[in-house]
């Protein structure tokens, strides 16, 4: 009789999770977007997914983010299972605040606010149900979901980074003996027969977007660095890494143009510079991570 009695008990314990899951699916899968809702639909999730697919692939890393977050949770499944669990009132207050944010996002027609609320709820709900111990293990996987949100305004603040990348490129080219001048974001490198002109694209062109570089560095730092200070140091380093990678791209194209002619340089620029930047950025990121690890090892014990 114990077996048959336990079935309804299990069912009753699981019921609110099913109900809550269904309500969450409706709240964000069918509602949450008020921008051009007659054309784009009311789903906040579909609004986001459409942006991952569009915009020239600048946000295509969005598809990977939930998978990475899911993997991180799965990786810690044993720790999650063994952590003591206790419901939290603070978590419930946070859930209420995030739902208010979702409602506010719809009211002010800012779907990003609703998506911020969704990412927050993935952490606040486990905090409410299972307490701080479980929530602590979920901080990074849930925070990583923020990289799903299309933050296109970052492209707008990239102009100063482009100017810095342009200045550094001209300095490098002149150091290599290739006469170059900068005007705004444009660079003119003198070749044997003609002048090669570039426009310095967004700071991390070839890495698709600054956001993609930050997402890559965040997961790398999380998996390879031991403490929060080192993780943050490497994460913040993603910005200069993106700029330096772009300097590498510009310098490489100018050198190829100088050695093999403008056509070869531009072909490199159009066809392969993305791979060059990506490779350079990954190497720099790994080197920066190694440096931080070594410096940390020499410092006082953690």
> Where is 276: in which H helix or E strand?
helix 273-298
Tell which one of 23, 90, 228, 259 touches another protein (CB under 8 A).
23
Contacts of 137 (CB under 8 A, 6+ apart): 76, 79, 80, 83
Q: At closest approach, how far in Å is the CB of 152 from another protein?
A: 8
Tell which one of 61, 102, 230, 258 touches another protein (CB under 8 A).
102
Q: Which is nearer to another protein, 15 or 291 (CB)?
A: 15
Could you say whether residue 213 binds another protein (CB under 8 A)? no
Contacts of 249 (CB under 8 A, 6+ apart): 205, 206, 269, 273, 276, 277, 280
- Secondary-structure breakdown of the chain: helix, strand, coil percentages, each rounded to the nearest 5: 75, 5, 20
Tell which one of 109, 259, 290, 294 touches another protein (CB under 8 A).
109
Q: Nearest 5°: phi and psi at 152? A: -65, -20
Site string for another protein, 181-200 (x = CB under 8 A): x-xxxx-x--------x-x-
Q: Which of residues 38-97 bind another protein (CB under 8 A)?
A: 39, 85, 87-89, 91-92, 95-96
Angle at alpha carbon of residue 191, lines to 186 and 194, rounded to 5°: 80
Tell which one of 6, 8, 26, 283 touches another protein (CB under 8 A).
26
Could you say whether residue 20 binds another protein (CB under 8 A)? yes
The site that binds another protein (CB under 8 A) totals a number of residues, namely 50
């Amino acid at each position: 009789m114990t077996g048959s009695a336990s079935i309804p008990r299990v069912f009753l314990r699981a019921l609110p999770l099913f109900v809550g899951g269904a309500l969450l699916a409706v709240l964000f899968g069918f509602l949450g977007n008020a921008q051009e809702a007659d054309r784009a639909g009311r789903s906040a999730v579909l609004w986001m997914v459409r942006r991952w697919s569009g915009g020239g692939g600048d946000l295509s890393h969005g598809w990977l983010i939930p998978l990475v977050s899911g993997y991180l949770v799965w990786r810690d499944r044993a720790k999650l299972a063994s952590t003591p669990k206790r419901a939290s009132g603070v978590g419930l207050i946070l859930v209420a605040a995030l739902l208010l944010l979702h409602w506010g996002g719809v009211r002010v027609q800012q779907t990003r606010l609703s998506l911020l609320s969704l990412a927050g709820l993935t952490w606040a709900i486990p905090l409410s149900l299972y307490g701080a111990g479980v929530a602590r293990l979920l901080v990074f996987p849930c925070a990583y979901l923020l990289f799903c949100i299309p933050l296109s305004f970052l492209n707008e603040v990239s102009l100063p980074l482009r100017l810095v990348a342009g200045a550094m490129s001209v300095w490098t080219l002149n150091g290599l003996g290739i006469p170059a001048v900068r005007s705004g974001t444009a660079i003119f490198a003198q070749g044997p027969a003609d002048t090669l002109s570039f426009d310095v694209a967004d700071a991390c062109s070839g890495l698709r977007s600054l956001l993609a570089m930050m997402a890559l560095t965040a997961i790398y730092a999380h998996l390879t660095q031991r403490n929060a200070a080192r993780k943050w140091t490497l994460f913040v380093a993603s910005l200069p890494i993106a700029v330096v990678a772009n300097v590498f791209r510009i310098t490489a194209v100018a050198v190829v143009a100088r050695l093999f002619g403008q056509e070869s340089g531009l072909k490199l620029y159009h066809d392969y510079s993305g791979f060059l930047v990506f490779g350079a950025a990954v190497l720099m990121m790994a080197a920066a991570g190694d440096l931080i690890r070594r410096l940390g090892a020499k410092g006082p014990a953690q």
